[in-house]
Amino acid sequence: MSSEHPERAAETDTDYDRVDPPIGWDGKTLQEMLDESERHLEETDRYYGLDRLEMKAENPFDYERMFARLRGALVNARETALHISASAIVREIGELAFQLYTPEGDCIATSTGIIVHVHTGSLAVKYMIENGYEHGRTIQPGDVFCNNDNDIGNVHTTDVHTIVPIFHDGELIAWADGVTHEVDIGGATRGHDQVSSTSRYEDGLYATCEKIGEDDEVYQDWKDRAQRGTRTPMFWDLDEKCRLAGCHMIRDALTEMVEEVGTDTYKQFAREAIEEGRQTLESRVQERLFPGTYRDASFMPAPFEEEGWNPVSKKNMLNHLPVEMEVDAEGGLELDMTGASPPGPHPYNCAEGSMQGGLWVSLTQCLLHDGKVNDGSYFAVDANFPDGSVVNPQDPDYSYHTSWGSIMPTYQAVWKNISRGFFARGFREEVNTGYSESGDTIQGGGFREATGEYFAIAPFDLSCQGMGASAVRDGLDYAYTMWNPETDMGDIEEWELLEQGAPFLSRHIKPNTAGHGKYRGGSGWETLRVIDESFDVSAYKHVRPGVTNSTSGMHGGYPQAANYSVRVHDTDLDERFEEADYPVSDRLPGDLDEQVDGDVVRTERGVYFPTTFENYDLMYYHMGGGPGYGDPLDRPIEALVEDLEDEVYTPDVVERVYGVVGELDEADREFTVDEEATEQRREAIREERERESRSVESFVAEERERLQDGDLSYPVRWMYSGVFDRDSEWVEAFREFWDLPEDFEIEVE
């Protein structure tokens, strides 16, 4: 009972009668239900062995109404509960989601929002089942559980799940799960995506499927631990109330529906809905992807040699993220990451469940956007994330704080493989060359001089990035993010309420961020901020991609621009502000240098570790663009004129890449094409291409010679040596492809 509310305890004695095991359906334990589900899937490749969706076939109206009713309840819970939160990340951007699971932990339906968590919550429920929660501390009506342990079931540490069991007539009929992205989770440094963590012990507050409350109340000791374990306790408290309130709304809605339709009908519906999700993805694969084997690879740099704090991380590392995808004519889809790098001393390690979540959120946008959104699509894909790799360390000691650093680059390769399948099948409009990876932002915090109160720097306007081009159109400008298709930048005023000591000076489209092509990628944008009336401010900057691109364009298109970082210390802004003269952008190299006097720190690495900022110091960051599609010389001149007038590109870049020459009137934003000069420039580009082109055979021969001579940079050596140490299957294929001796090795010097 809750010691805080003795008057409520009397109510809950009657509201929640104790239930004893077994609590599963039809007198089964939860473990028996889970074993049965897995056995059916293994033996039949169908959820619970269902070969016919009987309810869907015979009572389609009732079936669809039940799904719509549950889906509506989940969305309603999300849209209502988010107003409980004070965090702009949750309230303004909607960084939360709710899921409904079967007793054995399979998702039936999900709300809108950060839908990557459909399967992560599933894994947390299955962890509790497999570790005997039903028979130990027990699972009772009114219980509240919490998990953010990535090695068990989560995406990264600042995603926190509240999980509530739902009973009906003494039987567990479902679980409700609510997840929010926290402003801060404690840990070695301020921020929600730490860059400096090298192990679990620097990540911050962890809850490993803990029972944190009963009788619908959270334990006081858990409240105390959470309040003392984070730097933003108010946001934590309100986010937790938001999650719990949403779960209870879902519980009420489901209970009402079950009482109306009957328990047996609900049970049949739940299993058929999941099997329908599996069948739908399978049919989409068969319909839209050309059978065959598709291969691509992404890379994630960790340029920490100069920035790293911990000696083990003071090196420039590069993670190898290869993807092989097999599509068969019957709709089967296999994904294999054999050859992925081993885990390392960085925060980009990623658990298998997180990778499954990334796969799921990708497939629902690429293939399953018109199907039932649940765990059925997970069961339809055979995925291999190799044990002991950066995408499945199976070791809780590693840092998983910023696992998106492995998820987002990986699914660049997946999207390109799927797009090749679309193209081969003739679905040109479905092709997507990729997306900008949302990591180029500022994080940290400080204290206000007037009040002494702590404020976080945690802008989530990073949810608006450039999207890749398709085979028939340009990508979306600053209007997309891979992990939440409901992209929203939010209002500056909301972020300034949260981040009081770092007001905005400007926001602009960032020229030359969009990948070039016949169809260009979406453009990115830039922001400039200043530290104001604050003290003890520290901030750091993530970046993806940085010193290398994790993806390329398609069919002649270019990748998006790599990112860089700028900050300015010891400025003269106190004097400039008095005259209303202040900087607004960093559009061209050296631009901030010319607008303000101060110590300008510019690095092509993009990333920097926590750094002290004083009043009037400047923080600059920009969001990336998407990759392009097709030969840039095929882009219509009128489209380039529009790009120039809309500040997507600058004239020098358009002349160099697209061969379009002319004059831009900056004041009127009008571009006049020099047609003769344009024709000459485009012809010169074609001649240059022909002159500098080379055969594939000569390129392969030269690269083979470099490999044999050991002519590799340290990050590449670090990347390959880890794979050579742990993945003999991939190494054998590597040696065969490059025609290398059987004893060929790559080692770190």
Is residue 118 in some structural domain?
yes
Q: What percent of the chain has pLDDT over 70?
A: 97
Are residues 593 and 650 both part of a single domain? no
- Classify residue 291: in a domain, yes or no: no
Give the pLDDT of residue 13. 45
State pLDDT tens for residues 652-703: 999 999 999 999 998 999 999 999 999 999 999 999 999 999 999 999 999 9
Q: Is residue 583 located within the same domain as residue 732?
A: no
Partners of 147 in the β-ladder:
161
User: Which pLDDT belongs to residue 364?
Assistant: 83
In this model, does residue 564 exceed pLDDT 70?
yes
Residue at 361 is within a domain:
no
The per-residue pLDDT for 498 is: 85
Please indicate, yes or no, whether residues 141 and 246 belong to a single structural domain of this protein.
Answer: yes
Domain boundary among 578, 595, 628: 628
- CA-nearest of 531, 566, 527, 523 to 653 is 523
What's CA 688's distance to the chain center, in Å? 40
Alpha helix (H) residue ranges in 596-742: 637-645, 651-653, 675-692, 696-709, 714-726, 728-738
Q: How many domains does the chain have?
A: 4
Q: How many C-beta neighbours within 10 Å does residue 595 have?
A: 20
Residue 293 lies in a domain: no
pLDDT in tens, 299-322: 999 999 999 999 999 999 999 999
pLDDT at 483 over 90: no
Question: What average pLDDT is seen over the chain?
Answer: 92
Residue 462: what pLDDT? Answer: 87
Percent of the chain predicted with pLDDT > 90 = 80
| Residue at 530 is within a domain | yes
Mean pLDDT of 20-41: 97
Cβ-Cβ contacts under 8 Å for 136 (sequence gap 6 or more): none
Q: Does residue 486 sit in the same domain as residue 620? A: yes
Question: Is residue 602 a part of any domain in this protein?
Answer: yes
Considering the domain architecture, whether residues 730 and 713 belong to the same structural domain is answered as yes
* 390, 343 Cβ separation under 8 angstroms: yes
pLDDT in tens, 125-174: 999 999 999 998 899 999 999 999 999 999 999 999 999 999 999 999 99
Q: What is the Cα–Cα distance from 745 to 749, expressed in whole angstroms?
A: 12
Are 575 and 650 members of one domain?
A: no
Q: Which phi and psi angles does 334 have, rounded to 5°?
A: -120, 140
- Statement to judge: residues 492 and 624 lie in one domain: yes
Cα gap 250→177, rounded to integer Å:
9
CA-based nearest residue to 516, from 657, 642, 679: 657
Beta strands (DSSP E) in 182-283 are 210-214, 217-218
Distance from CA of residue 543 to its chain's centroid?
Answer: 14
Show which of 249, 278, 307 is a domain's final residue: 278
pLDDT score at 97: 93
Which residue range is the domain that position 647 belongs to?
636-692
Does residue 530 sit in the same domain as residue 501? Answer: yes
What is the per-residue pLDDT for 239? 95
Same domain, 535 and 655: no
Residue at a domain's end among 254, 278, 302: 278
- Quote the pLDDT of residue 589: 53
Q: Quick one: tokens of 426? A: 């003739």
**Domain assignment of residue 407, yes or no:** no
Torsional sign, CA 409, 410, 411, 415: positive
pLDDT given at position 25: 97
DSSP E strand stretches across 83-124: 96-101, 107-110
Are 655 and 524 in the same domain? no
**Confidence at residue 590, expressed as pLDDT on a 0 to 100 scale:** 61
Two tokens, residue 614: 């004083």
Question: How far apart are the C-alpha atoms of 47 and 29, rounded to whole Å?
Answer: 19
Please tell me whether residues 47 and 145 are part of one structural domain.
yes
What pTM value is reported for the model?
0.94
623 and 646 share one domain: no
Q: Look at residue 535 and tell me if it is in a domain.
A: yes
Least confident of 196-200, 246-250, 543-547: 543-547
pLDDT at 16: 87
